[in-house]
């Protein structure tokens, strides 16, 4: 016993004296930011699917029960299997992030954040437990409860609620980092200016993402399917996923614009960086990507109807052309330099046809706003016309082109998610909590809110 104590005690003494006494002040190194950034992106790409599947799976099961069609049940069952298989991997990344990277590299920030947002993180942890319990319960009681569908669907409904609460709570933390308010008032903390926009944006986005994702998955499975029943099922699954994804994405322009408005009103510096500064080209890429997504969807609708000679294919092709024009309008840059400040510095603050560096047709207001409205209108018309033409479609006859479009859609959605994450985090940089804590050093550097634009900007 005493040789053991003789070996162990010096080790403990060494650990107690050499390890830092409080959380490290934080590293702003490229390696640290790259590690955290890429792991967070990977986490969101999978966790978004899991939350979305937890919300949409029970809805699809209910829809199948009301329509009395087995394929909905089969699809929901597949989503349940997806959750059970990938949940552990996603949580592994999340735990890795929090325990090793956030605590290890950005310890001071993380402990401050947990102190401020204690109750959202506490509720989130418990809803996480509830989510995993209900997900496994929902999947593994599928067969046993097949004669008690009501009870099974109730479990699914609870899973959807738990998934939503989990996203809502973590969004309180994430939105607080961008627009901090009074941390001592729980209502102000939960309803900070970007909390609702971010939560609504992410909830709708998760639902769209899972739709596009299983659409792409069904496309791959369709190309490998052997039996006619499988082909019909995967063909329908791809179409259904895309429909669902587009329908949810239709709501995003107004939510996203509202989110940007709150950012403009409450953390002007981040807004300026995104719209006029160093991130403005990335934002332009995001607007273009949104248009391309709607375009690919409209093109899929037109092609799928044409494959079976269903009515409405011609009109949808015309809508595709409209979507191309709208995307071109949205993709126009405003300042023909890297940032707007470069234009001002060169004194070329006039239209390019007057020798300047401004393209008035690229202005957010009103041209890009009109483009966003046009996206929404054309896309909703496309969805309605596709639904009207669906009775003429025979599932299982899709061609390879449609499947390629579905897979492209999944890739585009993932690119969109990573782009938006990049804009968000770098827009707020070098702050971790806007105006209060920077990445480097991570001491509290509370400042008054950044002031809005000088009078000279249009």
Q: State residue 242 phi and psi, 5-degree precision.
A: -65, -45
Residue closest to 398 by CA, chosen among 308, 290, 336: 308
Q: Please say which residue, 14 or 380, places its beta carbon nearer to another protein.
A: 380
Closest CA to 108 of 424, 437, 447, 426: 437
Q: Are 145 and 156 in contact (CB under 8 A)?
A: no
Give the per-residue contact string, 420-449, with another protein (x = CB under 8 A; - = no): ----------------------------xx
Provide, rounded to whole angstroms, the least separation between the CB of residue 330 and another protein: 15
And the tokens for 94?
């999340």
Least Å from the CB of residue 255 to another protein: 6
Which window, 13-21, 52-60, 244-252, 282-290, contacts another protein (CB under 8 A)? 244-252
> Could you say whether residue 7 binds another protein (CB under 8 A)?
no
Residue 380 as a binder of another protein (CB under 8 A): the answer is yes
- Burial class of residue 135 in the structure, from the number of CB atoms within 10 Å of its CB (0-12 exposed, 13-18 middle, 19+ buried): buried
Q: Does 370 bind another protein (CB under 8 A)?
A: yes
Q: Residue 96 gets which letter from DSSP?
A: I
CA–CA dist 26, 33 (Å, integer): 11
Question: CA-CA distance, 182 to 194, in Å (whole number)?
Answer: 14
**Listed ranges 39-47, 64-72, 128-136, 405-413: which one lies at the site for another protein (CB under 8 A):** 64-72
Residue of the chain from 33, 81, 317, 388 that contacts another protein (CB under 8 A): 388
Number of residues binding to another protein, judged by CB under 8 A: 45
Question: Site for another protein (CB under 8 A): which residue of 47, 55, 71, 287?
Answer: 71
- Per CB under 8 A, 68 contacts another protein: yes
Applying CB under 8 A, among 188, 306, 317, 404 the residue interacting with another protein is 188
The answer to whether 258 contacts another protein (rule: CB under 8 A) is yes
Measured in whole angstroms, how far is the alpha carbon of residue 72 from the centre of its chain?
25
383 binds another protein (CB under 8 A): yes
Stretch that binds another protein, among 27-35, 261-269, 327-335, 410-418 (CB under 8 A): 261-269
Does 270 engage in binding with another protein (CB under 8 A)? no
Which of residues 77, 202, 221, 266 is near another protein by CB under 8 A? 266
123, 141, 139, 134: which is closest to 157 by C-alpha?
134
Burial level of 192, CB count in 10 A (0-12/13-18/19+)? buried
- Chain CA centroid to CA 56, Å: 15
Report how far residue 285's alpha carbon sits from residue 304's, in angstroms, rounded to the nearest whole number: 28
165 Cα distance to chain centroid: 16
Nearer to another protein, 355 or 448 (CB): 448
Q: Backbone phi, then psi, for 64, in 5-degree steps?
A: -65, -35
CA torsion sign for 156, 159, 165, 170 is negative
**Of residues 84 and 258, the one with the C-beta less far from another protein:** 258
Residue 228 binding another protein, by CB under 8 A: no
Which residues in 122-181 contact another protein (CB under 8 A)?
A: 181
| DSSP letters for 175-232 | HHHHS---TT-HHHHHT-TTHHHHHHHHHHHHHHHHHHHHHHHHHHHHHH--SHHHHH
Smaller CB separation from another protein, 34 or 254: 254
Q: How far apart are CA 304 and CA 313, in angstroms?
A: 8
330 touches another protein by CB under 8 A: no
197 binds another protein (CB under 8 A): yes
Nearer to another protein, 261 or 400 (CB): 261
Residue closer to another protein, measured from CB, 102 or 382? 382
Which is nearest to 251 in space by CA: 286, 206, 213, 292? 206
Q: Closest approach of Cβ 389 to another protein, in Å?
A: 9
| Residue 195 engages another protein in binding (rule: CB under 8 A) | yes
Does 267 bind another protein (CB under 8 A)? Our answer is no
Q: Which residues of 332-358 are buried (b: 16+ CB within 10 A; e: fewer)?
A: bebbebebbeebbeeebbeeeeeebbb
Asked if 255 touches another protein (CB under 8 A), the answer is: yes
DSSP 8-class letter at 360: G
- Among 192, 327, 403, 442, the residue binding another protein under the rule CB under 8 A is 192
Nearest to 191 by CA among 202, 180, 201: 180
CA–CA distance from 348 to each of 345, 359, 458 (Å)?
Answer: 8, 11, 14
Site string for another protein, 340-369 (x = CB under 8 A): -------------------------xx--x
User: Which residues of this protein are in contact with another protein, per CB under 8 A?
Assistant: 63, 66-71, 181, 187-188, 191-193, 195-197, 200, 247, 250-251, 254-255, 257-258, 261-262, 265-266, 365-366, 369-370, 380, 383-384, 387-388, 390, 448-449, 451-453, 455, 457
């Amino acid at each position: 016993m005493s040789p053991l104590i003789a070996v162990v005690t010096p080790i403990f003494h060494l650990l107690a004296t050499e390890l830092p006494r409080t959380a490290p002040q934080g590293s702003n190194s490229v390696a640290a930011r790259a590690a955290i950034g890429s792991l967070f992106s990977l986490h969101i790409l999978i966790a978004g699917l899991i939350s979305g599947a937890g919300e949409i799976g029970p809805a699809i099961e209910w829809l199948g029960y009301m329509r009395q069609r087995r394929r909905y049940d089969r699809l929901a069952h597949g989503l349940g299997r997806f959750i059970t298989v990938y949940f552990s991997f996603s949580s592994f990344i999340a735990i890795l992030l929090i325990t090793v990277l956030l605590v290890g590299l950005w310890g001071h920030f993380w402990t401050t954040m947990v102190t401020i947002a204690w109750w959202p993180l506490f509720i989130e942890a418990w809803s996480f437990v509830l989510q995993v319990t209900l997900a496994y319960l929902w999947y593994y009681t599928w067969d046993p409860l097949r004669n008690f569908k009501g009870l099974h669907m109730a479990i699914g409904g609870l899973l959807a609620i738990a998934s939503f609460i989990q996203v809502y709570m973590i969004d309180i933390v994430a939105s607080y980092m961008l627009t901090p308010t009074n941390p001592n008032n729980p209502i102000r903390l939960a309803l900070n200016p970007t909390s609702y926009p971010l939560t609504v944006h992410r909830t709708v986005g998760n639902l769209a993402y899972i739709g596009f994702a299983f659409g792409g998955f069904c496309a791959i499975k369709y190309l490998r399917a052997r039996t006619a029943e499988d082909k019909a099922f995967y063909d329908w699954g791809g179409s259904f996923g895309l429909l669902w994804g587009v329908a949810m994405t239709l709501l995003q322009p107004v939510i996203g614009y509202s989110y940007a408005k709150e950012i403009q009103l409450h953390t002007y510096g981040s807004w300026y960086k995104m719209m006029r500064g160093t991130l403005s080209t990335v934002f332009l890429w995001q607007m273009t990507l949104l248009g391309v997504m709607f375009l690919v969807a409209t093109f899929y609708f037109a092609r799928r109807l044409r494959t079976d000679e269903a009515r409405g294919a011609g009109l949808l092709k015309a809508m595709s052309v409209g979507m191309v024009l709208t995307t071109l309008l949205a993709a126009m840059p405003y300042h023909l330099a890297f940032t707007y400040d470069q234009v001002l510095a060169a004194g070329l603050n006039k239209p390019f046809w007057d020798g300047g560096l401004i393209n008035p047709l690229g202005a957010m207001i009103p041209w890009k706003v009109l483009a966003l409205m046009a996206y929404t209108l054309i896309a909703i018309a496309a969805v309605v016309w596709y639904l009207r033409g669906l009775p003429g479609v025979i599932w299982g006859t899709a061609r390879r082109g449609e499947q390629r479009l579905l897979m492209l859609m999944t890739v585009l959605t993932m690119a969109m998610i990573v782009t938006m994450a990049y804009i968000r985090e770098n827009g707020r940089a070098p702050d971790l909590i806007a105006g209060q804590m920077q990445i480097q050093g991570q001491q509290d550097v509370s400042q008054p809110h950044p002031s809005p634009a000088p009078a000279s900007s249009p």
